[in-house]
Amino acid sequence: MIVRKTLSLKSIYEFTGHHLTWLTGWMLLVTSIYYFTDWKFITLPWLPLSLIGTAVAFYVGFKNNQAYDRIWEARKIWGAMTNNSRKLATLIKHFRSEDSTPDFRAELRKQIVYRHIAYLYQLREQLLKPTHWEHVSLSWVFGSFNQIRRDKFFHQFKEELDEIACNNYLSKEEKNSLEGFNNKATQLLDKQTQQVQLLYDRKAINMMQQTTLQEVLNSFYDEQGKAERIKNFPFPRKYATFSFVFVCIFVFLLPFGIVGEFRKLGDAYVWLSVPVGVIIGWIYVVMEMIGDYSENPFEGLHNDIPMLTICRTIEIDMLQMIGDPNIPKPIQPKNHVLL
């Protein structure tokens, strides 16, 4: 997630600058053919071109709106998980029955908090596994480019990721017991239910408190399912594909319409169609790219939900609630990006 108020020219160029090269080449090619040959027939009337541009703008705007809904829903999901995690910590800390054993209660409750922190990091890891329609899985140049970009982001947070990998929130036996399961996060939630039941069986909590705790745990099943739905169900490919196709058609036709309009101002003005065409084409390409990179909020790129930062925030809150002395530091932005 980018956290600076405005993007720098450098970051804008890194994201879209490579498109300026082929846009300039295409506009220059058509303009040169028109200027140096007798092929004046290649011009197009401006009216049909403007109609196409308007239709494409509406279509791309619709796509971007739906793509933003996906990323905003993902953020709401993790916001709900943050709130419910805090609820779980405070309920685990304070719920008790009259005849509970203090030592047993304190140790088991701490295990539940630790396991929940491990669950959050495990869920993050699962959501970051690339699907074949995400940018980091594309073939040829674009996939490798985005894989390099993703690796760069992860390398910037290497210290924090290594620290998380070394955390011992789960015992070695419990880690081994998760091997072989496709969805380890779900198994951790199932273990939490087992531990809450154990609290009740040992009379550390009463029945009403057990029910309340289970409702909080069930909310994580709900939010995890919502996140997995976004991860595993791509933005409808027809919407995404035809948006790209329509932008390509418009950019292809653009110089044929612009060159004729500038020719009306005089021969020397024909060459103004190159920079103007590049600017117009770049705007449409960037609109398409913004929506395209907002479709998948769990792929580890710059538009993503900052799951690592959210998990660390929850971790700090829960550890402070139970009085743990080993409190990690909050995640800080690296080059104006939060992971």
pLDDT band of residue 153 (cuts 50, 70, 90) is confident
CA distance 201 to 148: 51
Please report whether residue 336 resides in a domain: no
Q: How many domains does the chain have?
A: 1
Please write the tens of the pLDDT for every residue from 180-202.
Answer: 899 999 999 999 999 999 888 88
**Sign, CA torsion 166/168/173/177:** negative
Q: What is the pLDDT of residues 156-187, one digit of tens each?
A: 888 888 888 888 899 889 988 898 899 999 99
What is the reported pLDDT for 121?
A: 94
Residue 143 banded pLDDT, cuts 50, 70, 90:
low
Mean pLDDT across the chain: 88
pLDDT digits (tens, 9 = 90+) for 284-331: 999 999 888 888 899 888 888 999 999 999 999 999 999 888 899 998
| Alpha carbons 231 and 117: distance in angstroms, whole number | 21
Domain membership flag for residue 240: yes
Q: Is pLDDT at 8 greater than 90 in this prediction?
A: no
Each residue of 258-279: pLDDT tens digit?
988 888 887 778 889 999 999 9
Residue 326 lies in a domain: no
- With respect to residue 329, please indicate whether it lies within any of the assigned structural domains: no
Q: What is the pLDDT of residue 230?
A: 93
Q: How confident is the model at residue 65 (pLDDT cuts 50, 70, 90)?
A: very high
Specify the pTM. Answer: 0.89
**Are the CB atoms for 85 and 116 separated by under 8 Å?**
yes
Rounded CA-CA distance 219/253 in Å is 52
pLDDT, position 69: 93
Q: What's the domain range around 169?
A: 9-321
Give a yes or no: residue 2 inside a domain: no
State how far the Cα of 28 lies from the Cα of 49, in Å rounded to an integer.
19
pLDDT digits (tens, 9 = 90+) for 83-112: 999 999 999 988 887 765 555 567 888 999
Nearest CA to 149 out of 159, 160, 162, 138 is that of 138
Radius of gyration of the chain (CA): 27
- With bands split at pLDDT 50, 70 and 90, how would you rate the model's confidence at 59? very high
Question: Percent of the chain having pLDDT more than 70?
Answer: 96
CB 93 within 8 A of CB 322: yes
Q: What is the DSSP letter of 334?
A: B
Average pLDDT (57-72) is 92
The answer to which of 134-143, 188-197, 234-243 has the lowest mean pLDDT is 134-143
Report the pLDDT value the prediction gives residue 142, as an integer from 0 to 100: 60
Beta bridge partners of 337: 2, 334
**Residue 103, pLDDT score:** 55
Amino acid identity of 27? M
Question: Looking at residue 107, what is its pLDDT?
Answer: 81
Check residue 17 and give its pLDDT.
85
Q: Which two tokens stand for residue 308?
A: 């690592």
Q: Is residue 331 part of a domain?
A: no
**Cβ contacts of 288 within 8 Å, gap of 6 or more:** 60, 63, 243, 244, 247
For residues 283 and 280, give the distance between their C-alpha atoms in angstroms, rounded to a whole number.
Answer: 5
Alpha-carbon distance 187 to 3, whole Å?
A: 34
> 333 lies in a domain?
no
Output the CA angle 156-159-162, nearest 5 degrees: 120
Residue 150 lies in a domain: yes
